[in-house]
Structure 1
Amino acid sequence: MSRLNDEWKVEPHGAIEQLDDGLWTVAGEIAMPLGHFPRRMTIVRLADGRLVIWSAIPLQESAMLQLEDEGPIGYIVAPGVSHRLDLRPWKQRYPSALIVCAPGAREAVSEAVAVDATEDPFGDAAVSFQAVPGVDGKEAALLVRRSSGTSLVINDLIANVRHPEGLGAKVMARLMGFGVKEPEMPWVGEKLYVKDKEALALALLQWSTEPALRRIVVSHGDVIDSEPNRVLERIADELK
């Protein structure tokens, strides 16, 4: 098992940015040899006021207080097998929050904290949690529908690391295909997780037909808000 944080360890991060009504994101960094690699947390407010934390990142206390002002922390989602680094301190801070992950990630996530749900627990018509087809249930996605449009929140299957910082991050982003030139599926993620390319490609194409799809929020790199439908179509075509 990879080393997991037991304490609230704050790495460099930006401000909480609002993307839509009840939808926020925070761009953070994780230390690596010779640089920092970008990571991203997404926050969604449900109709009942509770917050969903996707790919949890510890923030500075002022930012955490700002976050808590938006609503109680109801769910902490580990969107993939490798996104469990800070689950323990988050669960310690919010013991009543439910831990959610995709079914194929349950064993890995359980090494950090007990899992409460592997299927959609939200009961919210506008926020849909789903296991991504074709990857043995190891990756999850969220569809967040608002009056202004739809946001797809996805994890390690699409990356958009356009500005890697430091030699180590630049090498990793380029060698592993983390979307330095354009959004793409990292080859390491494809190799490790993709078991049925046809099923995954179909899922990407189905998401591309979402009414008023405005953006794709990824766990590594910039938010994709330019022609997100075509990005999904292109990556689906590359899987064939």
Structure 2
Amino acid sequence: MLPRLIPLADGLACVQHPMKVNGVPVTTRMTVIRLTDGSLWVHSPVPLDGQTRAELDRMGPVRHVVAPSLMHHLFVNDFARNYPNAAIHGAPGLSAKRPDPVGLKLLDKAPGPWSPELQFILFGGIPLANETVWFHAPTATLILTDLCQCWQGPMPWAARWWSTLTQTRDRFDMPLHVRWLVRDKAAARASANAILRWPFERVIMGHTAVITHDAQAQVRHALRHVL
């Protein structure tokens, strides 16, 4: 049986899960970080099957589960049920969209219990998404969900069509539909500049590719639409 958790660096791993969004077959990615106290921080949960849970439990105790945007939250209740001692954190506005996660803590600007290892900002100007963007200093990793995308490799025709339409097929960019959602360009510009101040060397996204070369230059180029 192939492992579900794919290691990317020491204490950093991910899981890819196939699903459909509006009829388009995609993969979504869960990112897992082991904090210095040994506990796990889980970003953008995927369904929690037996194998995934066993591998997570071997890596460490799950203590923080993050629904990072108003679009990436579907499977948070799997973790809430299976890890009752874990704190469930959500993007601003999620409690209105999803009142069901018990004890949901909305992310704000205050340092969290994962500080200083992890920092985040709310990417401004795109209220329909309210995406939180994260930086993990020990592995120099920037963690996005949908803000930037790069769809690579073999995929069904509908996914190829969608990624071509949104201008992210085999290229790292801010998708066309995300650009259309910008309502306050000044706020988006301020957030983009804040991201570029982080010294990241790797970019993990919610879908398909992981960027491991020229990360700063690629992110700057992708965010040119709001800079």
Under TM normalisation by the shorter chain, which class is it?
Answer: 0.7 to 0.9
Which residue of structure 2 aligns with residue 155 of structure 1? Answer: 145
Matched, 1:96 2:85: yes
Q: Alignment partner of 1:41: what SS?
A: strand
CA-CA distance at 1:113 after TM superposition: 5.0
Matched, 1:82 2:80: no
CA-CA distance at 1:218 after TM superposition: 0.5
CA-CA distance at 1:123 after TM superposition: 4.2
TM-score by length of 1: 0.82
Which residue of structure 2 aligns with residue 126 of structure 1? Answer: 117
Q: Gaps spanning 5+ residues in structure 1: where?
A: 1-12
CA-CA distance at 1:117 after TM superposition: 3.3
Alignment of 1:203-222 (within 5 A): 203-211=191-199, 213-222=200-209
Q: Distance in 2 between matches of 1:191 and 1:113?
A: 33
Q: Distance in 2 between matches of 1:34 and 1:203?
A: 32
User: Deviations along 1:173-210, whole A, 9 cap, x unmatched?
Assistant: 22233x21211112222333x22223323332332342
Comparing 225-234 with 168-177, greater Cα deviation is found at: 168-177
User: Deviations along 1:71-112, whole A, 9 cap, x unmatched?
Assistant: 111111111111121122221111221111222333223355
Comparing 222-231 with 24-33, greater Cα deviation is found at: 24-33
Distance 1:207 1:32, change over 3 A: closer
Matched, 1:139 2:131: yes
Q: Distance in 2 between matches of 1:209 and 1:158?
A: 17
CA-CA distance at 1:32 after TM superposition: 5.6
Identity of aligned residues (%): 24
Q: Gaps spanning 5+ residues in structure 2: where?
A: none
CA-CA distance at 1:153 after TM superposition: 0.4
Q: Which amino acid aligns with 1:75?
A: H
Q: Alignment partner of 2:80: what SS?
A: helix
Q: Which amino acid aligns with 2:97?
A: A
CA-CA distance at 1:50 after TM superposition: 1.6
Distance 1:105 1:60, change over 3 A: closer
Comparing 149-158 with 119-128, greater Cα deviation is found at: 119-128
Q: Which amino acid aligns with 1:158?
A: C
User: Deviations along 1:130-177, whole A, 9 cap, x unmatched?
Assistant: 32233347111111011xx51010111111111362122222222233
Q: Alignment partner of 1:44: what SS?
A: strand
Distance 1:25 1:156, change over 3 A: same
Q: Which amino acid aligns with 1:55?
A: S
RMSD: 2.4
Q: Distance in 2 between matches of 1:205 and 1:164?
A: 33
Q: Distance in 1 between matches of 2:106 and 2:37?
A: 18
The correspondence for 2:174, drawn from 185, 188, 194, is 185
Comparing 82-91 with 130-139, greater Cα deviation is found at: 130-139
Distance 1:205 1:129, change over 3 A: closer
Which residue of structure 1 aligns with residue 226 of structure 2? Answer: 239
Comparing 48-57 with 155-164, greater Cα deviation is found at: 155-164
The correspondence for 1:230, drawn from 206, 217, 221, is 217
Q: Which amino acid aligns with 1:128?
A: Q
CA-CA distance at 1:228 after TM superposition: 1.0
